[in-house]
Amino acid sequence: GENVEQHPSTLSVQEGDSAVIKCTYSDSASNYFPWYKQELGKGPQLIIDIRSNVGEKKDQRIAVTLNKTAKHFSLHITETQPEDSAVYFCAAAVYGQNFVFGPGTRLSVLP
């Protein structure tokens, strides 16, 4: 079955700097790669996703890149702000099947 690894497990950046979180997946059939943000005491919330027919997607300060050949995808956050501090999860899925999540990255944005 699918296995998703995520690095780093914790990340601290200065406010205004960029943050990058990387995930790798094992099942070459996976074709959907969402990213979730979880704030303290809340459920994960979808922030951006990418499908396998696209190499990059942007939404304001966040972007996701996908390398299907290497089976890895990354979340990029530019101009980080204190409200970006949270736990971020990546996931991989084959269309119509269950999502498999990475272990999460705790991002701290230092003022």
In whole angstroms, how far apart are CA 4 and each of 38, 80, 99? Answer: 18, 25, 10
Site string (50-89) toward another protein, x via CB under 8 A: ---------------------------------------x
* Token pair belonging to 92: 């991989």
8 Å CB contact between 45 and 38: yes
Among 19, 21, 44, 109, contact with another protein (rule: CB under 8 A) = 44
Tell which positions 90-109 bind another protein, by CB under 8 A. 91, 93, 95-96, 98-99, 101-104
Site string (5-34) toward another protein, x via CB under 8 A: -x--x----------------------x-x
Burial 52-81 (b: 16+ CB within 10 A, else e): beeeeeeeeebbbbbeeeeebbbbbbeebe
Binding site for another protein (CB under 8 A): 4, 6, 9, 32, 34, 36, 41-46, 49, 89, 91, 93, 95-96, 98-99, 101-104
